[in-house]
Amino acid sequence: MANIILRETIGGKNKMPFCGFNEKMLEGLSAFYEGLVEHGLIDRAKKKGKSVDEILQKELSDMQRFLKEIYRIEDPQKRETVETITNHAISFYRYIEKVGVDNYKLFAQGLTDFYRKMDDKFYSELEGQPEDMKDLAKYLNSIDIGGQE
């Protein structure tokens, strides 16, 4: 959950689902996902003369090896940031492995829709409730992320 408290409004209407993810943030995530696939897999596969699946497996392996070395980053905030973005990329690549690279745009859209629904549920119904985070986690089980086979 993003730690944003202010609501952006345009003409009195919410510009974002509620207080967490706004369109700019979701567009940024979509661009990140597209870059992971288009640059990190497809372009690299072409340049190296390998299959996208071979590159995907290499990327996953490299990132897993890197995670084992992140403890060497001395600054705790820098270490956490690098670890978090690496884990996020790994998670996305594992989904791509599951749904197929041809479905990455559909899946990326499903994932950003998932974030919207998570945000909306929390800020419109659950925020401030005694078990808000528990209920949010349970709710997320019911949301399908598009593009999965």
Number of domains in the chain: 1
- CA distance linking residue 119 with residue 136, whole number of Å: 9
Q: What is the pTM of this model?
A: 0.80
Give me the tens of pLDDT residue by residue for the chain, a chain 149 residues long: 333 333 333 333 333 334 577 888 889 999 999 999 999 999 999 999 999 999 999 999 999 999 999 999 999 999 999 999 999 999 999 999 999 999 999 999 999 999 999 999 999 999 999 999 999 999 999 998 875 54
Q: Which domain holds residue 104?
A: 26-111
The reply to whether 90 falls in a domain is: yes
The reply to whether 30 falls in a domain is: yes
The reply to whether 96 falls in a domain is: yes
The DSSP symbol for 18 reads S
> What's the CA dihedral at 91, 92, 93, 99 to 10 degrees?
110
The reply to whether 72 falls in a domain is: yes
- CA distance linking residue 31 with residue 26, whole number of Å: 9
The reply to whether 126 falls in a domain is: no
